[in-house]
Amino acid sequence: MSAIVEHAALLFGGFFTLVMLLCGAGIVAVGLFALQRHRAAADWPRTPAQIETSAVVSERRFAEDGQGTLMYRPQISYRYSAPGGSYRGDKIAVTGRLYPREDQARRAIARYPAGAMVVARYNPADASEAILERDGAGGVWFVLFGLLCWLLPVIVARQAGFSWFLIAGALTLLAVLPLLAMLTSRSRLAVARSRGLCPPDGSCSDTDVARLATHGEKMLAILLYRELHGGGLKDARLAVEALIRDREPRAE
């Protein structure tokens, strides 16, 4: 009986360790993608923008059946001009931020009261995307949190008698996985462009994302959306599905 309990505990520990390692790798990948977008935004043109709305909204995260942690998110909208016309933006930075306390969120949004004139940066490849701040802290925090997810598995592995050499090798492999995922997504888009499915790099927009999605190329649409807007895979998938719904014929 004790042997069964011991094996069950070992299997559970191994499964938990694997989940933590993979979650960490996924979070690191999101952080690296955000940092890549942060660097690209340094070359985006600037344009005057006027804040139209400014508020703090509450939302629950990690929620099940309406329960979860209550977080606060600054929510703004602003109007700016760019080649092609006038646009409305709602991003403060490349990555959005949630705050555990309402007063923290209000301090973060205090510099953007309704009616204020600010400077926005717009994406020259898709003028409908703009940001107000080049804040790379979100990407850094994602990377650090992902690495922190690996701390407990390392402790468990050491307690189980694994050598530092083996642990370092496993972590190196996991660190390479996010980079490979980014390169793979780029290569898939490169193949699609060579086949004429996507416009050349730097000339795409959400219209091309919607076209791919409605023609059965949902995965390519998700990859293209992430190339244009950054963010995680889940957010890109939800955005693409929303584009598909918006273009479905409405019943009269």
DSSP secondary structure, the chain, as one string? -HHHHHHHHHHHHHHHHHHHHHHHHHHHHHHHHHHHHHHHGGGS-EEEEEEEEEEEEEEEEEEETTEEEEEEEEEEEEEEEETTEEEEE--SSSS---BSSHHHHHHHHTTS-TT-EEEEEEETTEEEEEES----HHHHHHHHHHHHHTHHHHHHHHHTT--HHHHHHHHHHHHHHHHHHHHHHHHHHHHHHHTTSSPPTT---HHHHHHHHHTT-HHHHHHHHHHHH---HHHHHHHHHHHHHHTSPPP-
Distance CA 57, CA 61 (A): 13
Q: Residue 99 has what pLDDT?
A: 86
**Which residue ranges of the chain lie beneath pLDDT 50?**
250-252
What distance lies between CA 53 and its chain's CA centroid?
24
Could you read off the pLDDT of 46-84 as tens digits, one per residue?
999 999 999 998 877 655 555 667 889 899 999 999 887
pLDDT recorded at residue 15: 64
Computed over every residue of the chain, the mean pLDDT equals 76
Which pLDDT score is estimated for 113? 93
pTM score: 0.53
Using CA atoms, how far residue 229 sits from 92, 102, 223, 236, in Å, is: 13, 27, 10, 8
C-alpha triplet 144, 149, 154: angle, nearest 5°: 115
Return the closest-CA partner of residue 198 out of 178, 213, 183.
Answer: 213
What does the buried/exposed string (b/e) look like for 15-30 if buried means 16 or more CB atoms within 10 Å of the residue's CB?
eebeebbeebbbbbbb
Residue 250, phi then psi, degrees to nearest 5: -85, 140
Question: Residue 252: what pLDDT?
Answer: 44
- What are the structure tokens assigned to 127, written together? 């003028």
Tell me the per-residue pLDDT of 224-241, one tens digit each, with 9 for 90 and over: 887 777 666 777 888 888
Q: What is the reported pLDDT for 202?
A: 61
